[in-house]
Amino acid sequence: MRAPLATAIAIAVGLIVLAGYFLPDQKLQNVRSLLLDWSILLAAVATLVAIINLVISHFRKVANGVNQNRVFSIVVLVSFFITLLVGMVLGPANQQFQRVVTHIQVPIESTLLGVLSISLAYAAYLFTRQRRGWANTAFMTAVVFFLLANSWFLVFGQAVPVIGEILSGIQKIPLAGSRGILIGISLGSLLTGLRILTGIDRPYSG
């Protein structure tokens, strides 16, 4: 086995954290929270390393890239260093600094959200045009049906005794479907975690 020490540490820490989740022992809880605090620190250091990697990558693009890529990379680097410099001088908690950053970030992200809504509408149009099978016809029918079932259109039927119960049952069908998908995802996550916890899979080379 490669890197047995790293694997042993990973398994031991994983088992302690997992045991702390299930067992109410106070000493175990203390060790667990200490290990989780360390993991937060390590994640912060990892983010710093990844940011340095990003900056180096953009410096490389400026040095070697074609015109358009070079311009984007220059914008990224200039914005990054201005934000870093101002953040270090004023401090990240400074109100003025936070206001400036927020007033740049929020409009940009709102614009992207607007673009997203148009993109999804366009993708939906392409979906109906390009995919013509029974499964997709059933999907589109279900979309229209449940949109109607959950809208004001059938709200008057809720008051009628039998129809109200039928409508209530219909409205729960998407919930049941999503729970089915979520159960599959939970089992997949559990097994993926267990493969790492038992050292069968190692997403780290050590």
Q: Which of 33, 69, 137, 158 binds other proteins (CB under 8 A)?
A: 69
DSSP string, 129-153: HH--SHHHHHHHHHHHHHHHHTSGG
Residue in this structure with the two tokens 């009628």, named with its chain if needed: 160
Give the shortest CB-153-to-other proteins separation in angstroms.
Answer: 22
- For residue 141, the minimal CB distance to other proteins (Å) is 15
Residue pair 14/195 in contact (Cβ under 8 Å)? The answer is no
**What are the C-alpha distances in Å from 158 to residues 17, 169, 196?**
48, 11, 50
Whole-number Å distance between alpha carbons of 92 and 83: 10
Contact 148, 170 (CB under 8 A): no
Minimum CB separation from other proteins for residue 197, in Å?
Answer: 8
- In angstroms, the Cα distances linking 10 to 5, 14, 16, 86, 111 are 9, 6, 10, 39, 42
- Tell me how crowded residue 80 is: count the other CB atoms within 10 A of its CB: 14
Is residue 180 near other proteins by the rule CB under 8 A?
A: yes
Q: Which stretch binds other proteins (CB under 8 A): 25-33, 96-104, 153-161, 198-206?
A: 198-206
Site mask for other proteins (CB under 8 A), range 82-121, x = bound: -----------------------x--xx--xx-xx--xx-
* Cβ atoms 206, 9 nearer than 8 A: no
Using CB under 8 A as the binding rule, whether residue 173 contacts other proteins is answered as: no
Contact call for residue 50 and other proteins (CB under 8 A) = yes
Binding of other proteins by 183 (CB under 8 A): yes
How does DSSP classify residue 154? G
Q: Decide: is 34 part of the binding site for other proteins (CB under 8 A).
A: no
Under rule CB under 8 A, residue 182 binds other proteins: yes
Q: Whose Cβ is closer to other proteins: residue 18's or residue 157's?
A: 18
124 lies in the binding site for other proteins (CB under 8 A): yes
Q: What is the CA radius of gyration of the chain?
A: 26
**Contact set with other proteins (CB under 8 A):** 18, 21-24, 36, 39-40, 42-44, 46-51, 53-54, 57, 60, 69, 72, 105, 108-109, 112-113, 115-116, 119-120, 122-124, 126-127, 139, 178, 180-185, 187-198, 200-201, 203-205
